[in-house]
Structure 1
């Protein structure tokens, strides 16, 4: 979290992690990590996990990727991978 900027709201757990995705991406950018989340329409049509989160740079020793059938699943997996890599996202 960036002190003094006041942009980190308390997250309503009932709404899910999807509500915090832009804050997570911004925080990662501030740490020097390039990150993106996307929805692949072709994979969605094929009933495959269509959401993908990718990140690399900064404190990450190598790029990472997490996939999921929903945005919530994808982001939850991504946060686990980031924490395992030593990037403790404050959400």
Structure 2
């Protein structure tokens, strides 16, 4: 695991996880995890959950995916699943 490089900001409790999503992706990359978040316009038009988070590799034994109607919902589910997989995401 790489050490803290001093770039992690203090989290504002009034703001949601969507404000630190890019920092989470960067942290995951430092752990050897391939990760992405995307928004699918076709699913949005169909009123389906349009946000998708996907991760694989590194300490994850299996790839994982989380979907949500908002980026906050998607990332909340993703963080819970990452923690269940043994990754202590610092956000």
TM-score, normalised by the number of residues in structure 1 = 0.95
Distance 2:14 2:54 in 1: 25
- Give 1:78's aligned residue: 78
Q: How many residues align?
A: 90
- Give 1:47's aligned residue: 47
- Pairwise CA distance, 1:39: 0.3
- Give 2:36's aligned residue: 36
The CA RMSD over aligned residues, in Å, is 1.0
The list of structure 1 runs, each at least 4 consecutive aligned residues, that deviate by more than 2 angstroms after superposition, is none
- Pairwise CA distance, 1:35: 0.2
Q: Which runs of 5+ in 1 are unaligned?
A: none
